[in-house]
């Protein structure tokens, strides 16, 4: 087998060696070809066998669901079995094969297109969206016809499996968190795509924006993923395998050494404490938070409680989730961000409001203010949970002071409703705002006066400041946290927070990047919140930092206007001890 390499953007460091498992977008692989008349009956038989095989798969999945699984899971599988049994998909493609003498894959895809077109004519939004169930069922059948597996990986083989996909959606990312894969590689994505964020949270190598990996790599190909250099090597020679195995062992040794500083306090050499917090998405992430030695949770992304479902979580369900995290953390702070739905994080709430430009549309706090009942439900749940731990509330994507005041008014109404019902909550709960829109950074002085703390969301701040879609691999290389305009917006926010003696944190991906640690704390950032897997590497940088010694260099860096000069000076700052 010929060995070759593919280059992309490395978004999570490390070396992985394993077998490729293609996450198939089977619909993209279907091509039409003619079937000889004498082979038509065999093609129909191949189609019938694929239908039967998928039925067996679905019934097996249903039988293996844990007894405590939500009822919706079983219902979801039943719906797919029902769709598969409908004659429009189980019988009509046969007629297409016989009449047009075409391959089975093309026949069922053609029939699917016809069915989906009928769904598109339905006025009811919910029923119209059920076309996705049809598409998912057909894709399972096509995978069988193409010879792809519908199974992700055998449990005991996951650590040797490298997922290869065109892209991974936030819903997929949430599902994959329950597995232990060796690496992720995708054709699309950027440095802050959900694939990148997921892989960094799992501390596994990842490369995105490979463009054609999905087409060039085959299932079970042996591949090497060098997340540091952004290189994928397919079917490597024995010598290359040996070389990368040595690099992999060195990387493993470095990770073991980091464990030695787990219990050390995060204090700079000149005595400044830097609080290292963890970002989480679901309550079960608490396990990795405690394992990391984090001093609290700086960002609980609550939108993941709302995803992958057709309904909205009620107050009790949310309360129990927030309470579980608060109790698990004890006296350590837990910052809960209110629903940041929209853009690439879709929920049932977004399905009602289709935006032509989701990143700039009705999302985050704007969406919550447009749905006061949903917002009130979440605020009541958070407030109730505040009685059981050290909870703080964080409002996302604020853009104006009037927006903040509307938000605070709804919060006060939530508090009043709980008082009326004699339900206990922390009356002195702290509230903060995400600074992730340039307008908010420029107005940080005003926000700092009305909030208890500020948190900079660098992912969106960079996206909006540079007019770059961070999920678009065509422009993702332009996404640069060291752009002078981005650094000036951060510096402006820090200055405002310090002026009014308010705490200031960074909870975007910049917080978990070790090469930026000294720069950020030199700029005056007191708190860094990141995925738990990054905490020890960042702590290592904190322990070797001397803020007084770096101050002049950092000041000089902030006055530079060219990225290459900024990067050169940053390297010197990182070498200071």
Spatial distance between the Cα atoms of 91 and 494, rounded to a whole number of angstroms = 65
Give the helix/strand (H/E) hosting 454.
Answer: strand 453-456
Closest CA to 397 of 447, 466, 351, 452: 447
How many Cβ atoms sit within 10 Å of the Cβ of residue 82? 11
Contacts for 69 with CB less than 8 Å, ≥ 6 apart: none
| Own/partner pairs, 477-484, CB within 8 angstroms, 24+ separation | 477/9, 477/209, 479/190, 479/191, 479/192, 480/563, 481/509, 481/510, 481/513, 481/516, 482/563, 482/566, 482/567, 482/570, 483/563, 484/560, 484/561, 484/562, 484/563, 484/566
Closest CA to 465 of 434, 492, 442, 438: 438
Tokens 């200071």 found at: 576
Q: What is the pLDDT of residue 178?
A: 61
Low-confidence ranges of the chain (pLDDT < 70): 24-29, 65-76, 123-130, 132, 148-159, 169-179, 190-202, 308-310, 342-359, 470-473, 577
Spatial distance between the Cα atoms of 506 and 493, rounded to a whole number of angstroms = 11
Residue 223 tokens read as 């591949």
Q: What is the CATH topology of the domain spanning 26-146?
A: Enzyme I; Chain A, domain 2 (1.10.274)
Q: What is the pLDDT of residue 153?
A: 44
Cα dihedral: 57, 63, 67, 71 (round 10): 60
The reply to whether 4-24+150-244 and 260-432+527-575 are identical in fold is: no
Query: How many residues in the chain?
Result: 577
Please give the positions annotated as active site.
194, 507
Contacts for 74 with CB less than 8 Å, ≥ 6 apart: 62, 65
DSSP one-letter string for 132-146? HHHHHHHHHHHHHHH
How many Cβ atoms sit within 10 Å of the Cβ of residue 340? 26
DSSP strand E in 61-201: where?
Answer: 161-165, 183-186
For residue 330, give the DSSP letter: T
CB 358 within 8 A of CB 342: yes
For residue 404, give the DSSP letter: H
Residue 104 — φ and ψ, nearest 5°? -60, -40
- Does domain 260-432+527-575 bear CATH number 3.20.20.60? yes
Task: Work out whether the CA dihedral 347, 353, 358, 360 comes out positive or negative.
Answer: negative
Spatial distance between the Cα atoms of 540 and 525, rounded to a whole number of angstroms = 16
Residue 177 tokens read as 């968190």
Q: What is the pLDDT of residue 144?
A: 85
Spatial distance between the Cα atoms of 285 and 160, rounded to a whole number of angstroms = 23
Enter the pTM of the model: 0.69
Closest CA to 297 of 453, 459, 490, 527: 527
Pairing of strands 453-456, 275-280: unpaired
- The dihedral region occupied by 220, where left means phi > 0, alpha psi between -120 and 50, and beta the remainder, is left
How many Cβ atoms sit within 10 Å of the Cβ of residue 330? 10
Strand order across the beta sheet in which 206-208 lies? 4-7, 231-234, 222-226, 15-23, 161-165, 183-186, 206-208, 9-12
CB 129 within 8 A of CB 347: no
Q: What is the CATH topology of the domain spanning 4-24+150-244?
A: Glucose Oxidase; domain 1 (3.50.30)
Contacts for 320 with CB less than 8 Å, ≥ 6 apart: none
Bridge partner list, 391: 334
Pairing of strands 453-456, 503-506: parallel
Q: What is the pLDDT of residue 295?
A: 94
Domain boundaries defined on the chain: 4-24+150-244, 26-146, 260-432+527-575
């Amino acid at each position: 087998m010929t060995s070759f390499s593919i280059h992309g953007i490395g978004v999570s460091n490390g070396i992985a060696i394993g077998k490729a498992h293609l996450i198939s977008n089977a619909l993209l692989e279907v091509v039409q070809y003619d079937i000889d008349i004498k082979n038509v009956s065999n093609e129909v038989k191949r189609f019938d066998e694929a239908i039967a095989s998928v039925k067996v798969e679905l019934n097996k999945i249903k039988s293996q669901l844990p007894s405590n699984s939500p009822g919706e899971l079983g219902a979801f599988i039943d719906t797919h079995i029902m769709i598969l049994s409908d004659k429009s998909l189980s019988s009509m493609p046969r007629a297409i094969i016989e009449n047009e003498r075409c391959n089975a894959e093309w026949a069922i895809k053609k029939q699917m297109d016809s069915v989906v077109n009928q769904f598109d004519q339905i006025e009811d939004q919910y029923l119209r969206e059920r076309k996705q169930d049809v598409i998912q069922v057909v894709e399972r059948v096509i995978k069988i016809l193409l010879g792809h597996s519908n199974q992700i990986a055998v449990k005991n083989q996951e650590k040797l499996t490298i997922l290869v996909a065109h892209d991974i959606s936030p819903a997929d990312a949430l599902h994959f968190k329950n597995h232990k894969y060796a690496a992720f590689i995708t054709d699309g994505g950027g440095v802050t795509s959900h694939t990148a964020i997921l892989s960094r949270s799992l501390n596994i190598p990842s490369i995105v924006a490979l463009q054609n990996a999905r087409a060039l790599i085959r299932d079970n190909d042996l591949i090497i993923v060098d997340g540091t250099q952004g290189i994928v090597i397919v079917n490597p020679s024995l010598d290359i395998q040996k070389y990368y195995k040595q690099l992999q062992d060195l990387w493993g040794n470095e990770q073991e050494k980091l464990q030695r500083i787990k219990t050390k306090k995060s204090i700079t050499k000149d005595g400044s404490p830097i609080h290292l917090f963890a970002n989480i998405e679901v309550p079960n992430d608490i396990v990795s938070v405690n394992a990391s030695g984090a001093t609290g949770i700086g960002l609980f992304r609550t939108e993941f409680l709302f995803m992958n479902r057709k309904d909205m979580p009620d107050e009790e369900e949310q309360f129990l989730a927030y309470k579980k995290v608060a109790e698990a953390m004890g006296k350590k702070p837990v910052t809960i961000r209110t629903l940041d739905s929209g853009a690439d994080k879709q929920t049932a709430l977004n399905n009602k409001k289709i935006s032509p430009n989701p990143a700039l549309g009705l999302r985050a706090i704007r969406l919550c203010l447009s749905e006061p009942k949903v917002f009130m439900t979440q605020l009541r749940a958070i407030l109730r949970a505040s009685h059981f731990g050290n909870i703080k509330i964080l409002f996302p994507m604020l853009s104006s002071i009037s927006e903040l005041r509307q938000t605070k008014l709804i919060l006060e109404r939530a508090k009043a409703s709980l008082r009326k019902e004699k339900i206990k909550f922390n009356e002195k709960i702290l509230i903060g705002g995400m600074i992730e829109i340039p307008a908010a950074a420029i107005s940080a002085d005003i926000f700092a006066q009305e909030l208890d703390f500020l948190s900079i969301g660098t992912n969106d701040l960079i996206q909006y400041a540079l007019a770059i879609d961070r999920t678009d691999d065509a422009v993702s290389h332009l996404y640069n946290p060291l752009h002078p305009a981005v650094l000036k917006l951060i510096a402006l926010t820090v200055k405002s927070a310090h002026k009014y003696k308010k705490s200031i944190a960074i909870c975007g991906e910049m917080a978990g990047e070790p090469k930026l640690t000294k720069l950020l704390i030199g700029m005056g950032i007191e708190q860094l919140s990141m995925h738990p897997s990054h905490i020890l590497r960042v702590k290592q940088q904190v322990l070797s930092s001397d803020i007084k010694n770096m101050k002049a260099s950092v000041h000089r860096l902030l006055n530079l206007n060219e990225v290459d000069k900024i990067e050169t000076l940053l390297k010197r700052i990182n070498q200071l001890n």
